[in-house]
C-alpha cells in the first residue's frame, strides 16, 4: 500500500512541477495545487498506512494508527487552501492590471 501511495505522490509531484514550468498563470497555480496534494499524501504515507485501526492509544488497543501525520496534514491543508485562494485572487488582479497572464511578459525591467 505504501508503495502505491509513494508512486501516486511521485506522479502528483511530477505533474505539478510540469505545470509549474508553464507560462500561463492559471496552469502554474494548478501546479502548486498538485504539488501540495502530493506533499499531503506523502505525509500520510510516512505515518504508516493501516486499514481500520483506531488513531488512539488506550488500554486494550494494541494496533493503532499514528494520529500525528493526520494532524499535520490537516494544518497543512488549511494553509495551502488559504494560500491557493490568495494566489488565485492575486493572479486575477495581476493579469487584469498588467493586461496579460503570460509569465514571459511579466518579467519586468529595472526602472519602473
Q: Which residues of the chain form contacts with another protein (CB under 8 A)?
A: 20, 25, 28, 32, 35-36, 38-40, 42-43, 45-47, 68-69, 72, 75-76, 79-80, 82-83, 86-87, 90-91, 93-94, 97-98, 106, 108, 110-112
CA-based R_g, the chain, Å = 19
Whole-angstrom distance, CA of residue 3 vs CA of residue 25:
33
Q: How big is the chain, counted in residues?
A: 112
Instruction: Output the smallest distance, CB 60 to another protein, in A.
Output: 21
Q: Is 78 exposed, middle or buried (0-12, 13-18, 19+ CB in 10 A)?
A: exposed
And the C-alpha cell for 11? Answer: 506522479
> Toward another protein, which CB reaches closer, 17 or 61?
17
Instruction: Output the smallest distance, CB 49 to another protein, in A.
Output: 12
> Toward another protein, which CB reaches closer, 51 or 109?
109
Amino acid at each position: 500500500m505504501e508503495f502505491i501511495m509513494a508512486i501516486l505522490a511521485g506522479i502528483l509531484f511530477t505533474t505539478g512541477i510540469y505545470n509549474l514550468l508553464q507560462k500561463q498563470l492559471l496552469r502554474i497555480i494548478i501546479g502548486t495545487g498538485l504539488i501540495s496534494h502530493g506533499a499531503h499524501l506523502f505525509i500520510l504515507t510516512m505515518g504508516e498506512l493501516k486499514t481500520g485501526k483506531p488513531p488512539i492509544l488506550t488500554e486494550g488497543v494494541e494496533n493503532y494508527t499514528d494520529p500525528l501525520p493526520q494532524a499535520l496534514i490537516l494544518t497543512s491543508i488549511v494553509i495551502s487552501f488559504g494560500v491557493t485562494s490568495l494566489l488565485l485572487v492575486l493572479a486575477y488582479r495581476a493579469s487584469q492590471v498588467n493586461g496579460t497572464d503570460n509569465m514571459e511578459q511579466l518579467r519586468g525591467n529595472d526602472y519602473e
